[in-house]
């Protein structure tokens, strides 16, 4: 009942808001304060002026590893010179094991993708602001260090101001991702 009420309120809020602000039905604000893989504290504000491609995950996949970083790096290749206008971020939902140094080593295999991690609270806040859920799942054999992380498998495209533009599934083809990003790189009317 309460959920339904919230849904109705959200719907009404959407109706009354001006179209530009109502564009995001997912409630994704994209705000974060995290530490990048070089050890710097970073916020979403610092990427102003760039289209952002953001995904969440973790590096210690114990049984199968998503190919999303592969997809992103192929998409960046498709973008060619336009890739300079894009910041690509991989936010770890496993800050306990994904230290900045570890992320840096891991992301060597994916040039141009910035790894972000943080304190558990910072990561939780970032995930909340992207409407991403994650949950620790213990290893079957009880090894406390071999847990896996179930998480939302989505790819977010945010505009140059950090506002939500699109959400795509992990399984998207790289050329579709590049095409989508490129569509947002076109100067809009009234802009240079």
Residue 71 binds another protein (CB under 8 A): yes
Structure tokens at 173: 């083809």
Structure tokens at 154: 């989505």
- How many positions of this chain bind another protein (CB under 8 A)? 31
Compute CA distances 94 → 36, 50, 133, 151, whole Å: 14, 26, 12, 10
- Binding to another protein, residues 125-154 (CB under 8 A): 139-141, 143, 145-146
Among residues 60, 125, 163, 180, the one that binds another protein under rule CB under 8 A? 60
Residue 76: how many CB atoms within 10 A of its CB? 22
* Comparison of 22 and 171: residue with beta carbon closer to another protein: 171
Residue 22 binds another protein (CB under 8 A): no
Residue 8 binds another protein (CB under 8 A): no
Residue 180 binds another protein (CB under 8 A): no
Burial of 164 (0-12, 13-18, 19+ CB in 10 A): buried
Compute CA distances 58 → 48, 115, 136, whole Å: 25, 10, 11
* Comparison of 36 and 98: residue with beta carbon closer to another protein: 98
Answer whether 57's CB lies under 8 Å from 66's CB: yes
Q: Which helix (H) or strand (E) holds 75?
A: helix 68-79
> Applying CB under 8 A, which part among 30-38, 63-71, 116-124, 160-168 lies near another protein?
63-71
> Applying CB under 8 A, which part among 33-41, 42-50, 68-76, 154-162 lies near another protein?
68-76
Answer whether 14's CB lies under 8 Å from 25's CB: yes
Residue 57 binds another protein (CB under 8 A): no
Contact set with another protein (CB under 8 A): 59-71, 73-74, 77, 97, 106, 109-111, 139-141, 143, 145-146, 170-171, 173-174
């Amino acid at each position: 009942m309460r959920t339904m009420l919230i849904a109705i309120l959200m719907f009404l809020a959407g109706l009354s808001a001006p179209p530009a602000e109502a564009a995001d039905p997912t409630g994704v604000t994209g705000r974060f304060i995290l530490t990048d893989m070089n050890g710097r504290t970073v916020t979403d504000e610092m990427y102003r002026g760039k289209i952002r491609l953001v995904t969440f995950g973790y590096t210690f996949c114990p049984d199968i590893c998503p190919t999303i970083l592969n997809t992103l790096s192929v998409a960046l290749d498709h973008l060619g010179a336009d890739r300079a206008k894009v910041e690509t971020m991989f936010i770890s939902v496993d800050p306990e094991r994904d230290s900045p140094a570890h992320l840096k080593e891991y992301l060597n295999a994916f040039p141009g993708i910035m790894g972000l991690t943080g304190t558990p609270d910072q990561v939780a806040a970032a995930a909340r602001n992207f409407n991403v859920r994650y949950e620790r799942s213990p290893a079957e054999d009880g090894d406390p260090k071999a847990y896996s992380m179930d998480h939302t498998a989505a790819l977010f495209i945010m505009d140059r101001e950090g506002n939500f533009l699109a959400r795509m599934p992990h399984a998207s083809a790289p050329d579709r991702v590049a095409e989508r990003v490129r569509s947002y790189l076109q100067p809009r009317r009234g802009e240079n």
